[in-house]
Structure formats: structure tokens, C-alpha cells
Amino acid sequence: MTAQTPAPTRRGRAAQQIGRRSALDTTIDCAAIAALVVVAIVGFGPTFGGTGYLVAGFGALVLGLAIALVGARLRANILVLAAATLLVYMIFGGPLAVPTTTLFGVVPSLETIRALVLGVVFSWKDVLTLETPVGAFASVLIVPYLATLVASVLAFSFALRLRRAAWALLPAGALFVVAIAFGTRDAAAPIVQGLVFAGIALAWWAWRRSQDRARRIAATTLDSSAGAQAPDAGLARTRLALGAGLLVVALGAGLATGGLLAPVSAREVLRDAIVPPLDLHDYASPLVGFRKYVRDEKDDVLFTVKGLPDGARVRLATLDAYDGVVYNVAGDGTAGSGTFTRVSGDIPNDVKGDKATLDVTIGDLTGVWIPDAGYLDSFHFTGDRADELANSLHYNRTTGVAISTVGLAKGDSYSMDVVIPKVLTEEQLESHGLQSLSMPKSSGVPDDVPSLATQYIGDADRPLTQVRNLATSLSQEGFFSHGLEGEATSRAGHGAERISALLDAKQMIGDDEQYAVAMALMARSAGMPARVVMGFYPDKYAGASAEQQITGDQLHAWVEVAFDDAGWVAFDPTPPKDQVPQEEAPKPKSDPKAQVLQPPPPPQEPADLPPDLRTDDTNQDDENDANPIFVTVLIASGSLLALIVVLLTPVVVIGALKTRRRKARQNADRPADRLSGGWDEIVDRADDLGTAVGRGVTRRADAAVIAEAWPDLPVGAVAVRADHGVFGPGEPSADEVDAFWAEVDDIVRGMQDSRGWWKRLQARLSLRAYIGRRLESRSRRRRARS
């Protein structure tokens, strides 16, 4: 005989109605949380630029809301929500965060899965090390997509399922902080953002508190008349209206005066503490290979450029650090040297000048240094290796140098929008002083450089005249020679010994490499901000609308000096090519003696060449090409395996805990405890399946609740048998206990079979009953001790 479930009383039905929130309340909750998330998403704007971050953020917001609503409807636990979030992240991440990897812009591909898996770890670093805005760079949109998705799921779930509204503000606030931390020093209307976020949060929190208070009052006054409750409700509405009005006034005052009262100061963000990963010590100074170009590739077309304005120079590298051996690219963060950061399509640029669009196609030029001109506004690779090169592109906004760590190859092409600074005349520069810039320190400078600089400068007092005297003295007193066949002897190199030999010789003989370095060292010794630039300019320009072929013979090196309000001004200290030393040719001998055949010179070890000049090694290249692919596959597989392990670990752990609990109940020392444990197994399974069973009541009362959900199962009879076994005289026999557990298993199986697969999965992952038992046991121990 089973106990009948008593019908709910009028008071019980009223209490249930009061505890249940209306559709309007849910809508207000969702709207408030959505508004907070939108304010946080806007904070990503200065970092990402464009509209891609808005698509990723708003898409994640909608998906997070859907997950939270379905989870609240199905009463899904945190593990189910986590699994659903991961699944949604992988399915919709392609079109929202990495659309370039998908098929037709929607269907995820293997590359999409790889990007999403690796992006969980590496996209955060990319956002901090890329030059802003980063939105056009691959995989970086994973940051606003993933952060917004996780924050939305948590915030909406807390708002819909927790009684305390303040918990829902934590994920939304965390997203707001992430947008700031991964942002730039220049915020997107920071005062407005902060005030709007705080205003929405406070207003919604106040409204939730008033709603919760009204429910508590209604729950305690169910037996009161409706008329007695009306004043309380009216008072609550009045308080809420006054609070909202006060909030509106405060927001208006803040918006009106915040910009005037707030101090002008840059905020601290994570990217300020991150050092870009590019190590320039891995790349040889391009100036080391100067003679290689003019000797071996004199007539070879290194690259073609279309759109080059007349008089514009193509920069290959800006060299600002001398160590007595080579002049190299520093990029050490000083004001005059800047830093290299990864860049995407658009590049911030505040340089003024003439705008131009250049299209470059690489020919025989190799190495990591990318030819450009002026200062970049945007840069886009267009060749077959566009994605590979774009992922390795670094740019220094201070020196205008671009570098691709994978190196250039024949057929690579790119397009760039540049600003060419205007060249001032000498009359215009006369009134300009030199900029006060911190430059990388020089070392190993020859001893005679400072004294010779003082001699060349003379009594000139104007900065322009001083610089001009240095350049003119070298170009007029020196002679030009590459040291090639048929030319005067001129050693390559620009180390301290070579520069000292140049300056001490009766006749200074060299080319751009030596003269540019000598002038830059003299200028630096005199306190001038100077640097060496290696690049190209033709003797005759083809015109901006025509293609210009650049050969090795058009390679030059010059010196740039920074002037106030004029920027870096170029100076050419190299003598003209036709200014060569006059050597008296030896007279031929009338009676030459027979020549004695000399033994061949002993073989020499091959010289160590810098990285850009070493010979090709096919096997080594093949091995290096294979390793990145293997490492990429290994990382992707390991990351995917790690995600699977993380996802399955809670399932395995929860299953092990429940199995251990069942065995402990079934193998208890006393037969009566085994019967009691069998009944607890039924109660816990009902609890996991979503039927709340009261703790601390009788088994028959529990059976009435369970029978209401599963009327076809003999739960009441099992409860009676458990009571007789526990409270009756004597101990149940082993056969009775086994039969009881068999019936328990049948009931548990019937309970599970009556629910769908989704509900069964939730029950398997639920810790509701497990935690409830632990809390109940702890409460009993406390009562026993007291």
C-alpha cells in the first residue's frame, strides 16, 4: 500500500507562485546583463579596430544568453553548462572569430579547429604583442569571442538562477576589466563607459533587491488582506523611482563634469609590461652584405615597385646601434629607436607628408628585411605566401623598418599605403634645431672619430651647418671605390678598424658602407641624433604610374639626422662614383724575366658568413621546413587531447564518487544500514533527476514526493520495507537485503528510463545529492558535538 500525496494547500500554491519569477522579471534581468556586456564589448574597440570584434562579441553574447536560458530551463549543472559552452565555442567560433579559415565563411575546417584550439592559449599573447589595431590579424578575435561567451554564460546563469543578484555582476565586471587590461592606453570614452556600466549595474541591483524584498514580505503575509499589502508595494515603487531619478541626475552630472575634473593621464595596461618576442640578435645587420649586392647582384632585379614618387627612397633597414664590429638595428625601446611589434593590415601613423600607394613584387632579393618607403599606413601581402608572411610581420613605427621572420622569396608581393615626409629646403631647415632624442649607446668607436668630427664641424654654430660640414667634408675629401675588379683597393666592412683605416689614410677610399658609418659616428660623437639607413634609390625615376626595377647597383647607404618639426633628414656623405683616386699606371718592362710557377696556396677554411649570406643547404632546409609542420601538428593534437581530458575528468571523477558511495552503502556492516543505504540510493537518484526530496523527514514522506513524479514505481512499498528492516525487531537476513537491493536497482532503472537522454546525462553529472548528503552529515556531527 502506497501513501497518497496530499493536495497542495492554498497557502502552498500561493508560496510557489510568489517564489516563481515572472517572464517580465526574466526579460528585465536579461536586458540589464546584456547592456552590461555590450558596454564591456565596446571597450575592445581601440585595440581591435574595425567591426570584427563587434561581430565576435555580439555573436558570443547571443550564444551565451541562449545557453543560459536553456540551462536554466533544464536545471543543468555547471558541468553540463561547461560542456555546452565548449561545444558552442567550437561550432560557432569559425564564422565569428576566425572566418578566414572556414569553408564558404561558415563551415568549420580542420584549420578552424586548429586555430580555435590553439587560440585558447596563444591569442591572448598575440593581442598584447601586435601593433594596434589588431583586428585584421588572424585568430586575435578569439579573445573578445571567448571572453564574452564565458562571461555571458556565467552572468546570465547567475541572474536567472541565483537569488543574490550581485553574483551576476562579477562575470560582467570581469569582462569589463579584461577589455581594459588587453586594451591600449587610449580608452574608448573611459568616463562614459565607467559611468554607464556603474549606472546600469546599480539600477538593476537596486531593482532586484526591491523585488526580492517584496517577495519576502508577501511570503510572510499570505494570510493578510490585499488592501494591507498595497501601501508596501506603493512605497517600494516610490523608493525605486526616487533612486532611479537620483541615478539619472548623478550620471548626467558625471558626464558633464567628468571630462573637466579627470586628470589627463595614461592608464596602465598589460601590453605596456609585455616585451615583444622578436629577438633582433637572430638576424645579421643587412649592412654586412652591402658589397654582396653591388658585386654579385649588380644587374639583377631585386624587386619591382609601382607607385614610387620621384625622389622617394626605398628603405631596407634603419641602423642605430654600433658596437665596434657592425652597425645594427637596435629596436631597444628608446625614443630614437622604437620597438618592433607584430602588425596587421592597418598601422597607426601620425607622420605628415604626401600619401602614396606602392605595389612591390620581390625578385632576387632575399632575407628578412622588407623594402618599404616613408612610414606605413597599411600593409597587405598579396602573394601565394600571404598568410605565412602576414603572421611573421613586425614593424617599427619609429624607424619605419619592416621585417618578416620567415624571410622573403622570389614571387612574394605586397601592397602598402605610405606617407612620404616632405623634404625641406636648406633655407627652411636653417631655423630648426636638433631633436633631443635618446638613442642606443655606441661602443667601440675609433679614437680619432671625435677629434676629426670637431675639425670638420669647425666654428659652425647652426645645427644644419654642422651636419652639412660633416657630410661635405667626407664627400669632397674622399674617393669612391667598391673595391671591385678594375677599381682602387677598398676593403669591405665597417668595423672600428676599417673606419679608423679610412679616416687615417692619406686618401680616404671606400663606398656608402664606410662613409655613412663614419659620418653617423662623428655626428653621434658631437651629440647629434643620427642613424644609418640602408636602402635603394634609382639614378632615374620611372614615374609614379610606372614600374620601377630596382637592381643591386642602386643600393645605397646614407645618414639621417633628427631636426625639430622636420623629422629625420637625409644626408649623403659618399663621394660621387666618378670621384676616384688617380693612380699612376706602371710602365711595362721591355725584357720581362721568365715567370716561375708558384705552388698553389694552401686550402683555407670557409669563412663564417652571416645568416643572410650563408650558402643554401637543401637537406637542412628540408629538415627545417618539416619541423614546424610536425611541431604544429603535435601542439594542435596535444591541445585537443588536453581539452578532451579536461572535459572527461569531471565525468570520471563524479562516476567514481557515486560508485564508491553505492558500494559503501551496499556493504555496510549492519544489515539494517544496508537497507537504509538502499533507500538513500533511491532518494539520491530522484534528487539528481530533478525531483527535490526533503532532508530530515520520514521515508514515507519522501516516498510520497517520489511517487508523485514516478507513480508507476512501487516506491511506497520499498519505503515501508526499509522502515520495518531498520526499526523492526531483529536484523534482516542476507537474502532479504539482497532482494531489497534488487528491487532498489529496478526502481532506479525505471526512474532513469522514464527520462530522456539529456536528463539522464544531467543526472550522471549532478552533484546535488552528493553535496546535500555531505552537508547533512556535517550538520548531524555538529549537533552531536553540541
What's residue 269's pLDDT? 63
pLDDT at 527: 95
Element (H, E) at 569: strand 567-571
Contact status, residue 303 vs residue 371, Cβ threshold 8 Å = yes
**61 burial level (CB within 10 Å; 0-12, 13-18, 19+):** buried
**Is residue 617 pLDDT above 60, yes or no?**
no
The 10s digit of each residue's pLDDT in 543-552 is 888 999 999 9
Residue 604, pLDDT > 80, answer no
- Considering only 30-34, 122-126, 185-189, 454-458, which range has the smallest mean pLDDT? 185-189
> Is the pLDDT at 222 greater than 60, yes or no?
no
In this prediction, residue 203 carries a pLDDT of 87
> pLDDT value at position 777?
66
Looking at per-residue pLDDT, the higher value among 240 and 396 belongs to 396
Q: How confident is the model at residue 18 (pLDDT cuts 50, 70, 90)?
A: very low
What pLDDT shows up at residue 766? 79
Q: For residue 442, what pLDDT is reported?
A: 93
pLDDT band at 108 (very low <50, low <70, confident <90, very high): confident
pLDDT of residue 374: 95
For the chain, what are the domain ranges?
10-222+229-262, 286-571, 646-785
Other CB atoms within a 10 A radius of the CB of residue 262 amount to: 10
Q: Which three cell numbers stand for residue 661?
A: 558511495
Report whether pLDDT(596) > 50: no
- In the prediction, which pLDDT does 221 show? 54
Identify the bridge partners of residue 380 per DSSP, sorted by sequence position.
415
Average pLDDT over residues 377-393: 90
pLDDT-derived band at 261 (thresholds 50, 70, 90) equals very low
pLDDT at position 628: 54
Q: Which amino acid is at 554?
A: Q
* Range from 158-167, 331-340, 566-575, 631-640 that averages highest in pLDDT: 566-575
pLDDT level of residue 271 (50, 70, 90 thresholds) = low
How far does CA 45 lie from the centroid of its chain?
14
CA distance 496 to 326: 8
- Of the two residues 771 and 505, the one the predictor is more confident about is 505
Mean pLDDT of 608-625: 44
What is the biggest distance separating any 2 CA atoms in the chain, rounded to whole angstroms?
142
For the cut 80, the answer to whether the pLDDT of residue 293 exceeds it is yes
pLDDT cut 70: percent of the chain above it: 77
Q: Is 13 a residue whose pLDDT tops 80? A: no
Name 393's bridge partners.
Answer: 404
DSSP H helices in 434-508: 448-457, 463-477, 496-504
What average pLDDT does the segment 591-611 reach?
47
Find the mean pLDDT for residues 260-285. 63
Element (H, E) at 215: helix 190-220
Residue 529, pLDDT above cutoff 60: yes
pLDDT of residue 511: 97
Would the pLDDT of 3 be above 50?
no
- The mean per-residue pLDDT over the stretch 292-296 comes to 92
Angstrom distance (rounded) from CA 351 to CA 664: 76
Using the predicted structure, report yes or no on whether residue 273 has a pLDDT greater than 90.
no
pLDDT at 624: 46
Which of 446 and 234 is assigned the larger pLDDT?
A: 446
Mean pLDDT, residues 138-144 taken together: 87
Structure confidence at residue 262 (pLDDT): 44
- Beta strands (DSSP E) in 307-430 are 314-319, 321-322, 327-328, 341-343, 354-362, 367-370, 372-373, 375-381, 393-396, 401-408, 413-420
In what helix (H) or strand (E) does residue 244 lie, and over which residues does it extend?
Answer: helix 226-261
Q: Is the pLDDT of residue 239 over 70?
A: no
Condensed to tens digits (0 to 9), the pLDDT of residues 624-675 reads 444 555 555 566 566 666 666 666 677 788 888 888 888 888 888 888 888 8
Residue type, 735: D
Q: What's the whole-number average pLDDT of the chain?
A: 81
Grid cell, residue 711, equals: 507513480
Q: Coil, strand or helix: which one is 281?
A: helix
Q: Does residue 246 have a pLDDT over 60?
A: no
Cα dist from 32 to 36, 53, 195, 386, whole Å:
6, 21, 15, 43
Which class for 464: exposed (0-12), middle (13-18), buried (19 or more C-beta within 10 A)? buried
* Per-residue model confidence (pLDDT) at position 291: 94
- Specify which of 308-317, 389-398, 652-661, 688-697 reaches the highest per-range mean pLDDT: 308-317
Q: CA dist 51 to 47, 58, 198, Å? A: 11, 11, 25
For residue 47, what pLDDT is reported?
84
pLDDT at 63: 96
Q: Is pLDDT at 420 greater than 70 in this prediction?
A: yes
Note whether 551 and 300 are within 8 A (CB).
yes
DSSP letters, 38-84, are HHHHHTTHHHH-TTHHHHHHHHHHHHHHHHHHHHHHHT--HHHHHHH
Q: Please answer whether residues 326 and 287 qualify as being in contact, where contact means their C-beta atoms are separated by less than 8 angstroms.
A: yes
The burial of 706, by beta-carbon neighbours within 10 Å (0-12 exposed, 13-18 middle, 19 or more buried), is given as buried
pLDDT class of 775 with cuts at 50, 70, 90: low
Q: How confident is the model at residue 20 (pLDDT cuts 50, 70, 90)?
A: low
Mean pLDDT value of segment 368-392: 93
Q: How confident is the model at residue 257 (pLDDT cuts 50, 70, 90)?
A: very low
End-to-end CA gap in the chain: 40
pLDDT of amino acid 630: 59
What is the Cα–Cα distance from 153 to 171, expressed in whole angstroms? 9
> According to the model, what pLDDT value does residue 260 have?
43
The confidence score (pLDDT) of residue 19 equals: 45
Q: What is the pLDDT of residue 267?
A: 54
Instruction: Please give the residue that has the higher pLDDT: either 765 or 342.
Output: 342
The top-scoring range by mean pLDDT among 235-249, 459-473, 625-639, 673-687 is: 459-473
Which of residues 465 and 340 earns the better pLDDT score? 465
CB under 8 Å to 214, separation ≥6 — which residues?
A: 232, 233, 236
- Give residue 726's pLDDT: 82
Task: Examine the pLDDT at 125 and tell me if it is beyond 50.
Answer: yes
- Mean pLDDT to the nearest integer, 383-399: 90
Angle formed at CA 317 by CA 625 and CA 444, multiple of 5 degrees: 105
Q: What pLDDT digit, counting tens, does each position of 336-361 carry? A: 898 888 887 788 888 999 999 999 99
Q: What is the phi-psi region of residue 710: left when phi exceeds 0, alpha when psi lies from -120 to 50, beta otherwise?
A: beta
> Which segment of 148-157, 478-487, 751-760 scores lowest on mean pLDDT?
751-760
pLDDT over 80 (residue 79): yes
Of 41-50, 228-237, 641-650, give the range with the top mean pLDDT. 41-50
- Please check the confidence at residue 478 and state whether its pLDDT lies above 90: yes
